[in-house]
Structures are given as structure tokens and as C-alpha cells.
Amino acid sequence: MTISKIVQFGLEDLALQLKEKGASSREIAQILSAESGKNINHTNVLNFFNRRTQDLREIAKKQVKLKSQIVQQEINVIDELRYINQKVKVAIEELEKDGSDPSRRAPLLAVLQRQTEFISKRLGEVSDAPQITILNQEFDKFQESVLSIVEEEGGRELRERILRRV
């Protein structure tokens, strides 16, 4: 894949600023050409923004996948700890049924207590309200970014149709 002239000449920030201000691809090309002294046409500008849109979509997909993997790992750890706790509880019950010395149960109870605290702490971090608020704010920013790209590429009508579905 060839490198965009806009990237090659270090004009990404300027191109983004101009696009943000509502400049057309032809206007952006004209300004970038004047700024760099290189021939940049509107097709170069369109290709740059199309590639950027594709890159942003790929990044978003990777972030969602990575977050899903992290959440799944957390769930797996908690499930494993719950399984171990269940085994420890059974062992404690066996010792109680056998009438064993209570001091033999103490280490098992300590393990059970530590693991229960650890699980509670992990679940507390997952369900902590400030973190959820931050995640919601980040999601709202992400959604607005995606909708802006949709509007740039497909127009206001497409953006409105997507918003109705969300």
C-alpha cells in the first residue's frame, strides 16, 4: 500500500483541522498544496480520509475485541476461584462430619476467607459506579466519533437512521 501524500508530507493535522472546519476535499487539497509546495489533489484528500475512516473502524473493532478478552479472563479467574472455594467448603464439611479437631479446619477457612475477599474485591471493581460512569462517557465519545465519520461519509440522513436504531 502506498503512503498517502498527506501523511508523507506531514500534513495530517492540517487536513483534519480543515475537515473539522467544514472545508471540502478540493479546498483542503488546494490549501495543502499551497502549504507543502507539492501537488495534492482532491482524490488524495478523499483517499486519506477514507483510509483514516477504515483505520478508525479497525482500531474500534480491536478495542472491543481486547476488552471482551479481558472481561472473559476476569470471568474465568472468578469461576476458577469459585470452583476452588466449593472444593474447600466440601473439605471443611467432611472434617466437621468426621468430628475432626477444629484446628484442622482453620487453614481451610483461612483460604476460603482470602479467596472470598479476593472475589468480592474483583467483583467490586467491575461493578464500581464511578468506573461504569467513565466507561459510559468513553463509549459516548466513541459513538459520537463513529457517527461523525458516518455523517462525513454518508450524510446526515444516514446518521439519523443509525441513531434511530441505536
In the chain, where the domains are located: 5-127, 128-166
Looking at the whole model, is its pTM more than 0.75? Answer: no
CA distances from 105 to 87, 100, 117, 130 (A): 13, 8, 18, 39
145/139 Cα distance (integer angstroms): 10
- CA 39 to CA 24: how far, in whole Å? 17
Residue 161 has pLDDT above 60, yes or no: yes
The pLDDT, as a whole number, for residue 55 is 86
Question: What's the mean per-residue pLDDT of the chain?
Answer: 81
Looking at residue 143, its pLDDT comes to 67
User: How many other C-beta atoms are found inside a 10 Å radius of the C-beta of residue 119?
Assistant: 16
For the chain, the residue count is 166
- Cell readout for 88 is 474447600
Query: Of 20, 18, 21, which is closest to residue 29 (Cα–Cα)?
Result: 18
Which positions ≥6 away from 51 have C-beta within 8 Å?
Answer: 4
**Is the per-residue pLDDT at 44 higher than 50?**
yes
Does the pLDDT at position 29 exceed 90?
Answer: yes
Asked if the model's pLDDT at residue 125 lies above 80, the reply is no
HSE-CB at 156 with a 13 A cutoff on CA atoms is 0
CB-CB contact of 18 with 60 (8 Å): no
Rounded CA separation 106/100 (Å) = 11
